[in-house]
Amino acid sequence: MVAQRRLALLAASVVVALVALIASCSTVPLLAPTSAVISIYPETNSVSLNSQVTIIATVILNGVASSGTGSGGSTTGRPGAGNPVQNGTQVSFTTTLGQIQPSTASTHDGQVQVTLVTGNASGTATITAYSGGTSAQITLQVGTAAVKTITLSASPQTLPAAGGASQVVANVMDAGGSPVGGVPVTFTTDHGSVTPTTATTDANGNATTVLSTTATAKVSATAGSVSATAVTVNVNVRGLSAFTVSPSSTTAGTPVTFTATPSTGANLSNVHVDFGDGSATDLGPIGSSTPVAHVYGAPGIYTATATARDATGDTGSLATSVIVGALQPTLIASPNPTAVNTPTTYTVSGTSTAAVDHYVWTWDDGTAAFATSAPQVTHSFTSTGTKTTRVDVIGIGGGTIGSAQISVTVQ
């Protein structure tokens, strides 16, 4: 009887032990055997800041090691024909930069999928996947560490002579030609200013700034340790470097000479000169200092303006002033003295036909005033005494630009 009780107690103990063993086995994770090989396949070769990328790991029995599409990958295990490990095999992940979510995942058909989440830090993320006695490792470049090339473009690339603003875009790419987003790009220029000086790339890898300049400028960009070849934003050279007049002070009817000088390198289609007295002329596409003569028909202070137009249609102007005084003509009578009823010839000197429209003659012997187009007239007196003759010089514009008079003794 006692023996039977002891046998029953022993059987019960065995059952309890077996149940405990089964329970403990259910809490032990299923790990890959030493014959397995882990391979890691990242979604991209590089990762933007404050973003995420999918990481896929495969676990194969007697598989062939692979480092996936990342760089610096390594695995441990035995190569050979492979089959997926048992579903539910746990694979754990670590990273030296950012976070892996989730840090542990279970296989299905030999595959797990996790996500690398990055923050504000740039650098190299070394990602390790391990299960049991096998592991794999891969590196991904994050943020500025992923930058391989920067390409700059500007719109517009040519500004008018007065300068202006141009939008400059830096396109940031990784080694595989994919855009790198979320990285800061620093802009600099040798003329003018850029706003902002630092911009963050968008999902397409583009960072934008605005150049403001009055002179041709080069804009450079840097992200991390990579710098772009500078883009040049041209400012059209001003059309004219000088516009002068000689002499700067003259009298009505006396020609003056204006000279228009184009800027070095200016590609001008025309220079229009407005003399300031209602008249103007076009000099055409000048390439060197070009003179043009002009006669002012009335006294005054005149402002002449030269307006240059370049091949793009942009214009630039320079102005200069000239002081025009009244003519100081001289009236000569011959003969003087003269006799009654003897013709006396009057001649005006010191005038220019380019500025004179006509001459108005006035005598004090009762003869009515009259005009001539020539600076000379003949007149006879019918009585003796001192006779005064006056001439008014009328300019092209209709105003009096000079006067003179002379007295003749008639015997």
Tell whether 111 is covered by a domain. Answer: yes
Q: Are residues 257 and 228 in the same domain?
A: no
Instruction: Give CA–CA dist 39/55, Å, rounded.
Output: 11
Residue 227 CB burial class (10 angstroms; 0-12, 13-18, ≥19):
middle
pLDDT exceeds 60 at position 15? no
Residue type, 110: G
pLDDT exceeds 90 at position 114? yes
Q: Are residues 41 and 123 in the same domain?
A: yes
CATH code, domain carrying 169 = 2.60.40.10
Q: Tell me: the pLDDT tens digits for 332-353?
A: 999 999 999 999 999 998 876 6
Q: Which residues lie closer than 8 Å to 144 by C-beta, 6 or more apart?
A: 122, 183, 184, 223, 224, 225, 226
DSSP of 264-308, one letter per residue? Answer: TT--EEEEEEE-SSS-EEE--S--S-EEEEE--SS-EEEEEEEEE
- Name the domain boundary from 215, 235, 255: 235
Beta strand 52-61 with 111-117: parallel, antiparallel or unpaired? antiparallel
Asked if 275 and 238 count as a contact pair (C-beta separation under 8 A), the reply is no
Q: Are residues 7 and 50 in the same domain?
A: no
The candidate with the shortest Cα–Cα distance to 136, out of 83, 84, 73, is 73
192 Cα distance to chain centroid = 10
- Name the domain boundary from 145, 177, 211: 145
Q: Tell me: the pLDDT tens digits for 23-34?
A: 444 567 899 998
Q: Are residues 344 and 403 in the same domain?
A: yes
Confidence of residue 80 (pLDDT cuts 50, 70, 90): very low
Tell whether 31 is covered by a domain. Answer: no
The candidate with the shortest Cα–Cα distance to 352, out of 294, 303, 406, is 294
Q: Are residues 46 and 139 in the same domain?
A: yes
Helix (H, G, I), strand (E, B) or coil at 192: coil
- In percent, the amount of the chain with pLDDT more than 90 equals 62
pLDDT exceeds 70 at position 138? yes
Q: Are residues 12 and 94 in the same domain?
A: no
**Greater confidence, 310 or 39?**
39
pLDDT exceeds 50 at position 168? yes
Structural domain of 191? 147-235
Residue 294 has what pLDDT? 94
**Strands lying side by side in the sheet with 256-262:** 240-246, 256-262, 290-294
Confidence of residue 71 (pLDDT cuts 50, 70, 90): very low
Please give the tally of structural domains in the chain: 5
pTM score of the predicted model:
0.54
363 Cα distance to chain centroid = 73
